[in-house]
Structure 1
Amino acid sequence: MTTGAAGIVLAAPASGSGKTTVATGLIGALRRAGHRVAPFKVGPDYIDPGYHGLAAGRPGRNLDPVLVGRDRIAPLYRHGSRDCDLAVVEGVMGLFDGRIDDRSADPVAEGSTAQVASLLGLPVILVVDARGHSQSLAALLHGFATFDSGVRLGGVILNRVGSERHEQVLQAACDRVGLPVLGALPRLAELEVPSRHLGLIPAVEHGSAALRAVDAMTDLVARHIDLSAVAALAVSPGPGTIWDPVQAGTGANPAETGAPDESSRFIAAADAAGVAASPEPGSGAAAGVVGGRAAISGATGSARARGAGSDSVVTGAVTAAPDVSVTVPGSKLPAGERIPVIAMAGGPAFTFGYAEHRELLTAAGAEVAVFDPLYDPLPAGAAALVLPGGFPEEHAEALAANTVLRTAVAEQARHGLPIHAECAGLLYLAASLDGHPMAGVLDAVAEFGPRLTLGYREAVALADSPLWRAGERVLGHEFHRTRLVATSTPTSAWAWRAGREQVREGALVHQVHASYLHTHPAGNPGAVHRFVSAARAHRDARAAAATR
């Protein structure tokens, strides 16, 4: 049992208010003042945590009740802040914005900043874009302060203030509703971080410019925000359980239980219509590629979008040593058993991931070898491969130039290497991306699309794979602006409903699970455990074949 660090939540009335600038600067300024700060981001955002991580000097983490379940939010918070004295949680969109569910009358939307603040019992500091505001700000603040009694506003940070007189007027408006002003930031265009179709450019890609931007945000906040007042507002969520990757890996996947839903009934209908089943995992039989309407018309998933970034996949070339016989402290690996090496793509093209993913893989008894597909070969002795999300379309030429890696991935996939590919990983496994040759594991062409595909999906696994069992239900998230054009009859990975439409998406081939759908490993620890088991089985089969 632990309490976790005292924390505050930074929210805003709407997107574009400057939350990321304020949050990143606040994390950096509090760290500079001597605090150990745990950074968090609400929702499935990958990019903002990368900037948080630079400012905090530790991994930025996500808190998403939709992807991991409400009951895991406080334990994950305690896990991510267990050796810190303060935590800063940056919200998503507007304070009360979240997953839209027409069936719910609850004013606090699922996955919203308000819900996370309520689950943790943390006070909210509202970041207000002051442009265009005057005395009427008082009415806006009154509405946000009284809309839901379960959410407590602790103060206001005024952003993009135009002048000293403007600040005085806004201060009076805040005083009128009894909310203290914790700081007022002037308009500074030079603090804008470059963005593209999915959001800010990830910190890993932005390089030294990202460090300079974080330093500038830290300087700005240190000058204009009362850090002592912010720290004094912070409260602890109280004692409770802490998320443990070792224990999480032994629990049942929530998707394995419960009554069949519409997606499950769709599977039955698809089976009746003659949809081909996938081969048994490990059979080595090719099953086809990506398909379904979503992969062709709705899908967009390249790197020309604006997005979110995570520091969980760190840049750097790592060539793993072959399997070694050691015991992993805290893992479920039996004493003396060799550790399977799981290669994980990182670097500028594969920046989307969660810190808990590597922790779960390690806890399940794997050695994670991070490598950069722009330059590196496949890590030696790799028994499985993880290709996370990112922006491969921005680096397609360099990815294509690494023919050694592309050839190795294709060959290993044909020989049954377990591969988990999400979004960017799906694109890398295609035959080509925007005209550049990729690994060619999937008989499909990837291209930049005309529109963004974005949203949560209630998906069901259509067949067995190294991660999922047929019929398992998963809550995932799509966020891309590319599309895959299939060139063969596919065995899809997932099915879900989009309105009245039945959607099949992703690909199962050999031991490859490839999809646009992002899932959170902490919400599906059983899938991570099965993936490590598949890696161990593949390694053992390979060793046995070598001795014949």
Structure 2
Amino acid sequence: MSRGGRGMARLVVAAPSSNAGKTSVATGLIAALTHRGLTVSPHKVGPDYIDPGYHGLAAGRPGRNLDPWLVGEERVAPLFLHGARGSDLAVVEGVMGLFDGATHPSVEPGFASTAHVAALLRAPVVLVVDASSQARSVAALVHGFATFDPGVRLGGVVLNRVGTDRHEAILRGALDAAGVPVLGAIRRLDQLHTPSRHLGLVPAAERSAEAVATVDRLAHVVADGVDLDAVLALARSAPPLTAAPWEPAAEVPVVAGRPRIAVAGGPAFTFGYAENAELLEAAGAEVVTVDPLRDEALPEGTAGLVVGGGFPEVYAAELSANEPLRADVAALAARGAPVAAECAGLLYLARELDGVPMCGVLDVAAAMSPRLTLGYRAAVAPADSVLAAAGTRVRGHEFHRTHAEPGAGTTPAWQWSSAGPEGFVTGGVHASYLHLHWAGSPGLAARFAAAAARLPQGVQHAHR
């Protein structure tokens, strides 16, 4: 039976470092508990889009992000409670090592770390330890993580990549002596390797049947190796939260006319925060999905377009081949309709991507780059646009292996302290590499919906 509300059962899955297996364990936990008939709310610390896709596949409901940098500390618990409505418990996967946070000079060490979010949620932590290259030393490692920050409650350990029965016995004995509960042990399983790409794991939406099979295998592995009853007891030991659930309707005014706003989806555009669309809907818009790989026209009556992140470089040929939709997008932009494009969206609006034609809305040539650009950013809007008024300050993140030439237009989208002007504002178009979580700046959604409401008649298809 769902506890729901502020007394939501919850736990955080963390690790001493990246690549310890926390995504596999968290996804397996979500799936295994869902197989038990529980409704599990999946969450991810940090800005990452890919892990929540696997979580959502395991839970049958959207994976949601919790990031103090993007939305502010004060919104983390309310957004958590909003996302967890109607569930029996919540599983929150951490990011990097437990205490690794933002390195931006404007915040204290550990800000936006897994430990920071666990403290904001008053949630117990399950530490996933890669035990493949250690024995009794695991006790010293876990003891250090248990005592480093008194504000973080380490509720137990899952030993990952255990070799043999003897190896497991040594590990359990060492941790028993250290007084830390072992919630489970998982053997080395090469067949559960998840395919990677230049920006991390391959999104679940792209792997379809293969992703479903991987999640199902993870569910069985975790159910076999982890004491799910002990995990549930730990999650239910979390104290009530004092925060109230986030309400998108309280964040934005309602516009007239119910403008139709299309949001790009499908395998090429898998990066987006659920709250962005919820804010647009709360502002009175009708939000519909368009798949640029398959749909040859924007939905009838489209008055605004949001093209978020993803991997258009992987699908450049297919996106380019869909000439009718590219023409529709160009025509919509030419009419002055609001178009918000982030990262992959910027590439799609460009003149070309890796030498093949894109929508041509922007006179920009984009291409793959050997360099990964990654990190949190603080930015200010240098001019008015459909997304932000001049002087608006936002916090976002960059995550790409492409570059655009030029990198900024005559009117840039943002001014970054570390990189100068970036992105493009032209007519109703706002395009940038910066990813934003609109719950952190709800005015963005309100301004965009208002711009869509002002557009007469919606889209006129260019190819008809």
TM-score w.r.t. length of structure 1: 0.81
How far does the alpha carbon of each residue in 1:480-509 deviate from its partner, in whole angstroms, 9 at most, with x for none?
0000012996321111122xxx52111111
Whether the 8 Å contact between 2:407 and 2:423 is mirrored in structure 1 is: no
String of CA shifts for 1:273-307, please: whole Å, max 9, x gaps.
Answer: xxxxxxxxxxxxxxxxxxxxxxxxxxxxxxxxxxx
Counterpart contact for 1:10–1:88, Cα < 8 Å: yes
The amino acid across from 1:387 in the alignment is: V
Distance in 2 separating the partners of 1:432 and 1:483: 12
Tell me which of 394, 415, 421 is aligned to 1:474: 394
1:432-461 deviations in Å (ceiling 9; x for gaps)? 001110000110100001200000001000
The residue number in structure 2 matching 1:344 is 263
Cα deviation code 1:192-232 (max 9, x no counterpart): 11111101100111111000000000010111100000000
Q: Deviations over 1:497-540 (max 9, x none)?
A: 22xxx521111111100000000011111110110000000136
| Partner Cα distance (2:104, 2:399) in 1 | 19
Which blocks of at least 5 consecutive residues in structure 2 are unaligned? none
Q: Tell me if the contact between 2:47 and 2:65 (Cα under 8 Å) persists in the aligned partners.
A: yes
Which one-letter code corresponds to 1:138 in the other structure? A
- Residue 425 of structure 2 corresponds to 508
Separation of aligned partners in 2, 1:215 and 1:168: 28
Q: CA RMSD of the aligned region, Å?
A: 1.6
Identity %: 59
* Equivalent residue, structure 1, for 2:365: 445
Q: 2:63 aligns with which of 60, 63, 88?
A: 60
Correspondence 1:32-51 to 2 at 5 A? 32-51=35-54
**2:383 is equivalent to residue 463 of structure 1:** yes
C-alpha displacement at 1:237, in angstroms? 4.0
Q: Which amino acid aligns with 1:248?
A: E
What secondary structure, in the 3-state scheme, does the structure 2 residue paired with 1:539 have?
coil
Choose from 272, 287, 290 the match for 1:353: 272
Q: Verify the 8 A CA contact 2:300 2:458 in the aligned structure 1.
A: no
The answer for the alignment partner of 1:538 in structure 2 is 455
State the SS of the aligned residue for 2:246.
Answer: coil
Report what 2:75 is aligned to.
72
Cα distance in 2, alignment partners of residues 467 and 198 from structure 1: 27
Whether the aligned pair in 2 keeps the contact of 1:447 and 1:484 (CA below 8 Å) is: yes
Amino acid at match of 1:340: P
Partner of 1:520: 437
**What amino acid maps onto 1:92 in structure 2?**
V
Specify the alignment match of 1:200 in structure 2: 201
How far residue 382 of structure 1 moved from its aligned partner, in angstroms, is: 0.2
Q: Which residue of structure 2 lines up, in the alignment, with residue 11 of structure 1?
A: 14
* Residue identity opposite 2:314 in structure 1: E
Quote the Cα distance in structure 1 between the aligned partners of 2:352 and 2:416: 27
Q: Indicate the residue corresponding to 1:142 in structure 2.
A: 143
Query: How far apart in 2 are the matches of 1:507 and 1:239?
Result: 42
After superposition, the C-alpha distances for 1:89-109 in whole angstroms (9 at most, x for unaligned) are 0000000001014566x55x1
Deviation for aligned residue 1:172: 1.4
Alpha-carbon shift at residue 4 of structure 1 (Å): 4.9
Aligned to 1:277: none
Q: Distance in 2 between matches of 1:162 and 1:403?
A: 53
Give the residue type in structure 2 aligned to 1:491.
Answer: T
Aligned partners of 1:158 and 1:185 also within 8 Å: yes
Gap change, CA 1:542 and 1:7, over 3 Å in 2: closer
User: Does the C-alpha gap of structure 1 residues 101 and 388 become closer, same or farther in structure 2, counting only changes over 3 Å?
Assistant: closer
What's 2:117 paired with? Answer: 116
For 1:489 and 1:359, locate their aligned partners in 2 and report how far apart those are by CA, in whole Å: 30
Instruction: Note the alpha carbon deviations across 1:51-87, whole angstroms, 9 max, x for none.
Output: 0001001010000000000000110111111211110
- Residues 313-324 of structure 1: pairs in structure 2 closer than 5 A: none
Q: How far off its partner does 1:238 sit?
A: 2.3
Paired residue secondary structure (1:232): helix
**Could you tell me which amino acid in structure 2 is paired with residue 63 of structure 1?**
L
Q: SS of 1:392's equivalent?
A: coil
8 Å CA contact 2:104, 2:376 repeated in 1 = no
- In 2, are the aligned partners of 1:4 and 1:81 still within 8 Å (CA)? no
CA 1:186–1:484: 2 relative to 1, 3 Å: same
Provide, for residues 301-356 of structure 1, a one-character-per-residue CA deviation record: whole Å limited to 9, x for no partner. xxxxxxxxxxxxxxxxxxxxxxxxxxxxxxx35xxx53110011100000000111
- Contact 1:122–1:237 (CA<8 Å) still a contact in 2? no
What letter is aligned with 1:434? D
Distance (Å, rounded) in 2 between the aligned partners of 1:27 and 1:346: 24
- Which 5+ residue runs of structure 1 have no aligned equivalent? 251-331, 544-548
Q: Residues 156 and 209 of structure 1: is their aligned pair in 2 closer, same or farther, counting only changes over 3 Å?
A: same
Partner of 2:321: 401
Q: Which amino acid aligns with 1:495?
A: Q
Query: For residue 310 of structure 1, what is the aligned residue in structure 2?
Result: none
Q: CA distance change for structure 1 residues 392 and 237 in 2, over 3 Å: closer, same or farther?
A: farther
In structure 2, C-alpha distance between the alignment counterparts of 1:488 and 1:504, rounded to whole Å: 6
Query: Residues 142 and 359 (structure 1 numbering): CA distance in 2 closer, same or farther, change over 3 Å?
Result: same
Counterparts of residues 126-525 of structure 1 (less than 5 Å): 126-234=127-235, 235-250=238-253, 332=254, 337-376=256-295, 377-486=297-406, 490-498=410-418, 502-525=419-442
Over 3 Å counting, the alpha-carbon distance change for 1:526 and 1:489 in structure 2 is closer
For 1:35, give the aligned amino acid: L
The one-letter amino acid paired with 2:282 is A
Alpha-carbon spacing, 1:231–1:247, altered in 2? closer, same or farther (3 Å): same
SS of equivalent residue, structure 1 residue 242 = coil
Equivalent pair of 2:352/2:360 in contact (CA under 8 Å): yes
- Contact 2:409–2:424 under 8 Å retained in 1: no
Distance 1:427 1:3 in 2: 41
Tell me, yes or no, if the aligned pair for 1:8 and 1:88 is still in contact at 8 Å: yes
Partners in 1 of 2:457 and 2:300 — Cα distance?
15
User: Residue 28 of structure 1: which of 31, 43, 49 is its match?
Assistant: 31
Q: Pick closer, same or farther for the CA change 1:111–1:34 going to 2, 3 Å.
A: same
**CA distance in structure 1 between the partners assigned to 2:164 and 2:383 by the alignment:** 61
Distance 1:50 1:203 in 2: 5
Give distance in 2, aligned partners of 1:436 and 1:465. 29
Contact kept? 2:302, 2:458, Cα under 8 Å: no
With over 3 angstroms needed to count, the CA separation of the structure-2 counterparts of 1:371 and 1:102, relative to structure 1, is closer
- Aligned residue type for 1:246: A
Conserved 8 A contact 1:120-1:237: no
Q: Is the 8 A contact 2:270 2:309 kept in 1?
A: yes
- Which residue identity does 1:473 align to in structure 2? R
